[in-house]
Amino acid sequence: MQPVPEQSPLPDNGPPISDVGGPHGPAHVAIIMDGNGRWAKSRGLPRLAGHRAGGEAVRRSVAAAIRHGVRWLTLYAFSAENWRRPASEVLDLTSLLRHYLRSEISALTAEGVRLSVIGEPGRFAEDIQRNLSAAERLTAGNRRLHLTVALSYGGRTEIVRAARAAAAAIVEGRMRPEELDEPRFASFLATAGIPDPDLIVRTSGERRLSNFLLWQAAYAELVFLDVLWPDFGETEFAAALAQYAQRERRFGARPG
Ligand code: IPE
Ligand code: IPE
Ligand code: MG
């Protein structure tokens, strides 16, 4: 997990194809990609087929994010709790991750996408860790879309780690306790330098965060879609943006 340097505003590698999101569209969209298993089951297929089809939906969402002028896209690909699944499914998921890392990096580079990882990449096999770091390095200069993939990610663990890092900074005399405020604490999180998500989308009809971006979600708009992740594409992305556009964000202030 590499800390992400400060980087706003993003210069362009090229303008978005259209600006459908408009100036008031979300800058940062985060997605809980759920429903691969149910998609496969409904077709009488093994769960692996659902995860494969989910990979195609990831491609479509990256393209849609770019088209709508979204600057940060964060995808929940594997939770810290997903290690509890049967070993065969974990193996399928890690094999797919290995495959996509090899096949997609040049496409991401060509599209001006920067890739970052949050979570615990150290829990994956060494070759995957190496390829993840290489992909982060290779795409570090890309500015069109900042794609963050959450892998073995858990929001509570992220917060505990940040607390530990802040405590160490105090003990070592690099920071005074009274200097620890919200922005400073956020700088110890894996998402340092990335703005909080404006919009969090979850597919498959489930209405929970499942330990995703707990700190960062404080004022995110939540959109729950019934579509199963492998069926997610441009239309569903646009539908989520349309729901977002209907919301009035108040941040605790009086209704305007
Ligand atoms: C999301 O789909 C993918 C991961 C969590 C890795 P699921 O595998 O959770 O699919 P459902 O929820 O069982 O349908
Ligand atoms: C959340 O989905 C994690 C990801 C989408 C990667 P899960 O399917 O694991 O969540 P629960 O178990 O339904 O809460
Ligand atoms: Mg699920």
List pLDDT tens digits, range 169-187.
999 999 999 999 999 999 9
The atom of ligand 1 lying closest to the CA of 47 is 8
Q: Does the beta carbon of 210 sit less than 6 angstroms from any atom of ligand 2?
A: yes
Q: Does the beta carbon of 211 sit less than 6 angstroms from any atom of ligand 2?
A: no
Rounded Cα gap, residues 58 and 70, in angstroms: 15
* % of the chain residues with pLDDT over 90: 89
Rounded Cα gap, residues 189 and 159, in angstroms: 7
Q: How far is the CA of 14 from the centre of ligand 1 (A)?
A: 34
Q: Ligand 2 atom 10: the closest Cα is on which residue?
A: 210
pLDDT at 255: 81
The domain 25-151+197-245 is placed in CATH, from the list 3.40.1180.10, 3.40.50.2000, 3.65.10.10, 3.40.470.10, at 3.40.1180.10
Spell out the domain ranges in the chain.
25-151+197-245
* Higher pLDDT, residue 22 or 191: 191
Active site residues per annotation = 34, 82
Give just the sign of the alpha carbon dihedral 90, 99, 230, 195: positive
DSSP character string of 68-137: TT--EEEEEEEEGGGGGS-HHHHHHHHHHHHHHHHHHHHHHHHTTEEEEEEE-GGGS-HHHHHHHHHHHH
pLDDT at 11: 39
pLDDT at 112: 97
Question: 50 with 1: CB under 8 angstroms?
Answer: no
Q: How far is the CA of 240 from the centre of ligand 2 (A)?
A: 19
Residue 5, judged by CB atoms within 10 A of its CB (0-12, 13-18, 19+), counts as exposed
* Closest ligand to residue 228's CA: 1
Average pLDDT for 142-167: 98
The atom of ligand 1 lying closest to the CA of 206 is 12
Q: How far is the CA of 171 from the centre of ligand 2 (A)?
A: 37
pLDDT at 256: 72
Give just the sign of the alpha carbon dihedral 18, 246, 32, 131: positive
Q: Ligand 2 atom 2: the closest Cα is on which residue?
A: 34
Model confidence pTM above 0.85: yes
pLDDT at 254: 84
Q: What is the pLDDT of residues 49-93, one digit of tens each?
A: 999 999 999 999 999 999 999 999 999 999 999 999 999 999 999
The atom of ligand 2 lying closest to the CA of 150 is 6
